[in-house]
Structure 1
């Protein structure tokens, strides 16, 4: 698909070239005119890398703000123009002697409700630096299974600069993997404030998309929630400390549902609900939602560290823990950058010229091992080249003996149950389907198999049956029934479903999505949040998402079935056959889901 070519191309424009043109585009639309505080011209050459601030929980209180003489840059029509404002400060000065230091509170010349002077933190009176507004609080709220944070006055924009958080903007202070608390963080690179300022000045809206599974799961994960929200707030405070005050929107996916990367739910949520013009009130008093500002995905971009890179892509660095960030960009159809390629880390060689095919391994993502679009293209091509006059051999021969035993071998989500029902259970022979998910135990499966064969009914065992030992238990039952009846041998056939682990894990997510999608086409895992469990969803969960161990366990136990050694009359390969009722269903399957 064209969107994937654009997203994964090594020749996509560099960030520097994208930011070089700050002239408004006629087709951009919805550009923000928010105020941005920039460093003065003397300080613009380099941004400081401030020490991380200690986290203080957001308290939504009104703040009276005054500053010393400042240089304030107000962005209008995507350009920064300087204007100077002066505030009168009544303050006493700190006096330092050889023995001690005495500091009296600094006041802003105004009084609070009780008549006491308003104190001003010394940071805002720091001589030689830009005096900033006190940092704006981040307002947090839950939108289904997503935690949404809003910092600053938000305006819609067609240009989106999207970032992952952990490993992309913030890393821990040490060699451990997960942050210990809200203060365990540092910038990935010191140019982050500078980049954010340039992006905002070029008309981009800054949005963070982060997987934070479980942070809305009540008291059990409250500590993790505080750690995440606190680190986000500390990063934004540090960016303000560096002289940049811009609006930022944050999404944290708390569930294992459509919102979790690489699935595009968070991006879709942003586009549908958080990139609108302001709502209005009609003459009859009804609230009219603002128009959606359409995102220009080709000129927007996403930056993330989960790019699927192998170990050693930088000296001494392990492989990327996942490739979900890269896949999200591929799903959305926007350019993708690793943090190294975006922030141009000084300790890594810069990327080569745009006209070169060679890309430094620390900068380039690795192509996903399973591409659903390519998979479907291969299947469609094979179908188109097949001989239309050829007849497909039926899965049940016309002269099949009854009873017979059919064993399915295949991974979870390889299409076994659909295949068994379509070709055997719903056939004129009406096979008895034996399935452990329904019968719960293997012993019961064996018992039902024996009872059906004794009654002269054919049986299809719809289980994974990965190894010879498991399969032998059913072969022995057929031999036992055959010996008891003495009416001839019971045929035993094996249907081996060849779908590999990557395809099956993809199918698993897809079938959960199809069973649980809401009216808007999304999938909300209401069971992953405390609020969701307290409020039953109108479309309750009907298909459970299987854990990764279900697939890795099958793969470790799998042994290819052998007709001669295991006593099968036939071993027949069954490839997964993609069939979709609607075009939109195929489009959903074609996304990267794992």
Structure 2
């Protein structure tokens, strides 16, 4: 290793003299994978810190978990356990992973600038600009513009902007509330269609179960045959509020349910692949932090594979109506969960 420029030491020292604290946040997943021996990584950091000769805290994320940038875990640990209860009035980040996409300087990723954005740093700068003493941008967002950051295709904050309507039907009617939606249904038998991570189970648990709907789920029952048997059992018991909560991506697979449940309504959860990947990643992180978290993630390749199978449902298949369901953000167990949900993960 070597310093990118010897002037960086004086630049860091200038800020520490003004009561800034020097903290290193680094992704080092190679430690857990075996690609980078722990002692080798430790020596590299110790040599660098010794050369810089300025007191600092170094935090290394060794796994693909909540601590890996751009996720906020390392900063949360620093803030809660290593900051001596001092209020942080100003913070900025220097990082080379700014998502620059130009042919002159193309970055390997954007994790540093996204990390700074997620944890609400005041600004961000690349090492070259920091050494050159260039003025910092007034916000991380302005820095993203300056560096032409190649942002992920999905913006998590958009999930908080989709709540104007909960659904629309094939006649072009929009519904502002769950109650309004349920009152419009021509039948109380509902079939869900949507990719893994599109919010089907969350929608059922938070909006339909409380209204007396009974769930039929392959994930819970184990096979499609058992789903059919359970539907027949519910019908024989006089149940009319039945929800088939499976992927139901292909038209051929939906036919059996149309035959079993005359007048069947379709709820199509039309989340994009990038949105499903974000929601699935959130589930994965929540499961890592809490084994009892209700919603299980799937391997990412499953989402890509199922996207290819998706036949968008239409009324022509025999549904009494098809509703496009918007993703509805519900309540969170903690402020930290809510913050994480809207971050780049």
TM interval, short-chain normalised: 0.7 to 0.9
Alpha-carbon spacing, 1:328–1:450, altered in 2? closer, same or farther (3 Å): same
Question: 1:225: how far off?
Answer: 5.1
In the comparison of the two structures, how many residue pairs are matched? Answer: 329
Aligned to 1:208: 24
Question: 1:410: how far off?
Answer: 1.6
8 Å contact from structure 1 (residues 199, 205) kept in 2: no
| Alignment partner of 2:200 out of 416, 422, 427 | 416
Alpha-carbon spacing, 1:239–1:556, altered in 2? closer, same or farther (3 Å): same
Aligned to 1:519: none
Aligned to 1:579: 330
Name the CA distance, whole Å, in 2 between partners of 1:251 and 1:381: 41
8 Å contact from structure 1 (residues 263, 591) kept in 2: no
Q: Which runs of 5+ in 1 are unaligned?
A: 1-185, 277-291, 345-349, 479-489, 517-524, 527-538
TM alignment of 1:185-584, pairs within 5 A: 186-187=1-2, 190-191=4-5, 193-203=6-16, 204-213=20-29, 215=31, 221=33, 223-224=34-35, 226=37, 229-234=39-44, 236-237=46-47, 240=50, 244-276=52-84, 292-297=85-90, 300-310=91-101, 313-315=102-104, 320=107, 322-334=109-121, 335-342=123-130, 363-376=147-160, 378-379=161-162, 393-395=180-182, 400=187, 405-427=189-211, 430-453=212-235, 456-458=238-240, 459-478=242-261, 490-510=262-282, 525=288, 540-543=291-294, 544-564=296-316, 566-580=317-331, 584=335
Alpha-carbon spacing, 1:234–1:422, altered in 2? closer, same or farther (3 Å): closer
Question: 1:553: how far off?
Answer: 2.7
SS across alignment from 1:494: strand
Alpha-carbon spacing, 1:238–1:338, altered in 2? closer, same or farther (3 Å): closer
8 Å contact from structure 1 (residues 408, 416) kept in 2: yes
Name the CA distance, whole Å, in 2 between partners of 1:446 and 1:563: 22
SS across alignment from 2:181: coil
Alpha-carbon spacing, 1:390–1:255, altered in 2? closer, same or farther (3 Å): closer
Deviations 1:258-285 (A, max 9, x none): 3232221211211221222xxxxxxxxx
Query: If the length of structure 1 is used for normalisation, what is the TM-score?
Result: 0.47
Question: 1:408: how far off?
Answer: 0.3
Alpha-carbon spacing, 1:306–1:438, altered in 2? closer, same or farther (3 Å): farther
Name the CA distance, whole Å, in 1 between partners of 2:256 and 2:176: 41
* Structure exhibiting the larger radius of gyration computed from Cα positions: 1
8 Å contact from structure 1 (residues 314, 362) kept in 2: no
Question: 1:495: how far off?
Answer: 0.3
8 Å contact from structure 1 (residues 275, 293) kept in 2: yes
Deviations 1:116-160 (A, max 9, x none): xxxxxxxxxxxxxxxxxxxxxxxxxxxxxxxxxxxxxxxxxxxxx
Question: 1:593: how far off?
Answer: 4.4
Question: 1:435: how far off?
Answer: 1.4
SS across alignment from 1:234: helix
Question: 1:569: how far off?
Answer: 1.5
Alpha-carbon spacing, 1:418–1:467, altered in 2? closer, same or farther (3 Å): same
Deviations 1:455-487 (A, max 9, x none): 553431111222223323433545xxxxxxxxx
8 Å contact from structure 1 (residues 413, 504) kept in 2: yes
Q: Which runs of 5+ in 2 are unaligned?
A: 167-173
Name the CA distance, whole Å, in 2 between partners of 1:388 and 1:491: 20
Deviations 1:7-35 (A, max 9, x none): xxxxxxxxxxxxxxxxxxxxxxxxxxxxx
Alpha-carbon spacing, 1:233–1:554, altered in 2? closer, same or farther (3 Å): same
Name the CA distance, whole Å, in 2 between partners of 1:303 and 1:553: 38
Query: If the length of structure 2 is used for normalisation, what is the TM-score?
Result: 0.76
Supply the RMSD in Å over aligned alpha carbons: 4.0
Question: 1:503: how far off?
Answer: 3.0
Name the CA distance, whole Å, in 2 between partners of 1:585 and 1:305: 27
Name the CA distance, whole Å, in 1 between partners of 2:232 and 2:23: 60
Question: 1:388: how far off?
Answer: 12
Name the CA distance, whole Å, in 2 between partners of 1:237 and 1:568: 67
Aligned to 2:343: 592
SS across alignment from 1:546: coil
SS across alignment from 1:202: helix
Greater relative CO, 1 or 2 (CA 8 Å, sep 6+)? 2
Name the CA distance, whole Å, in 2 between partners of 1:410 and 1:322: 30
